[in-house]
Amino acid sequence: MYSLELNDLPAVHREEYIGSRLNALPFVGFSTMKELKDVVSWYNGLLAGTSDYADEAFLSRFKGRGFEETLRMVYGYVSREIDLRGKELYDPDKASDTMYRKSGTVEDKAVLAKSMLEGLGIKSYVALVKGGAFPYTGTSCRRTCFPNVLLYVPAGKGEGEWLDFSNQYYGCGTVSESVAGTDAMVINSRRVRAEKSADAGRGRIERSFRFDLDPSGDAKFAVALTYTGGAGRPGRISGTGRTRRTI
């Protein structure tokens, strides 16, 4: 039991644009985690022993023709077949328990996917993602600095895939707009590495139009639409045509 008493403290300067006292509650926070390595040590203790799913017969169903196909199959199963029952963090269940219940939090689903990928020979790492409302200032570190969790899968040459299990309708590699581009802390058993989480990956449409006119009045046109997004493989729709207009 610890007690703390503070007396005769100077007044805290009120910042501009802070709003009225009705919508900004003052608070004081204390933390024993002074650096990111403190968070790594603590969180690794929570993750210890959780990646325990090792049913080889079941995992063989997810062996694709390559890295990308295997990743999509595992993500699709965990995202859609394991029911999401909340977004609480810092209480991960064992992968085998999540598989047995067929439900889990975002954190539980990330741990299950990590365990399945390891069984298929693919390394992946849980990543804690910072929230924009609680930026890390470098002076102290608290759990509320990292309100989101993703799974980071290295793909080689400094690149990787970010898996977000907070929404069952996301495609593989699509992350929530609330965490897109924010700082992420990729954790393994030996070190921590700061990364930028992926863009939201909602997809985009690229358009290309070409018209050729000749002196006779004919017009040739070519239109190409390229759809790219995390929910599926890139697709292309294109067309050409010829038309005559008499004036």
pLDDT band at 232 (very low <50, low <70, confident <90, very high): very low
Q: Which fold has domain 36-196?
A: C8orf32 fold (3.10.620)
Q: How far apart, in Å, are the Cα atoms of 221 and each of 109, 167, 192, 242?
A: 49, 41, 53, 6
Structural domain boundaries in the chain? 36-196, 204-244
Q: Are strands 103-104 and 83-84 parallel, antiparallel or unpaired?
A: parallel
Q: Pick the more confident residue, 58 or 86.
A: 58
Whether the per-residue pLDDT at 227 is higher than 70: the answer is no
The answer to whether 113 touches 163, Cβ cutoff 8 Å, is yes
Higher pLDDT, 189 or 233: 189
Model confidence at 68: pLDDT above 80: yes
The candidate with the shortest Cα–Cα distance to 108, out of 91, 121, 125, is 91
Q: What pLDDT was estimated at residue 6?
A: 79
What is the per-residue DSSP string for 165-193? -S-TTPPTT---TTTTTSEEEEE-SS-EE
Q: What is the pLDDT of residues 82-102, one digit of tens each?
A: 999 988 889 999 999 999 999
pLDDT score of 104? 96
State the CB neighbour count (10 A cutoff) for residue 185. 23
The pair of three-digit structure tokens given for residue 46, joined into one six-digit string: 């929570």
SS3 of residue 67 by DSSP: helix
Q: What confidence tier does 148 reach under pLDDT thresholds 50, 70, 90?
A: confident
Residue range 118-141, pLDDT digits in tens: 999 999 999 988 765 555 555 556
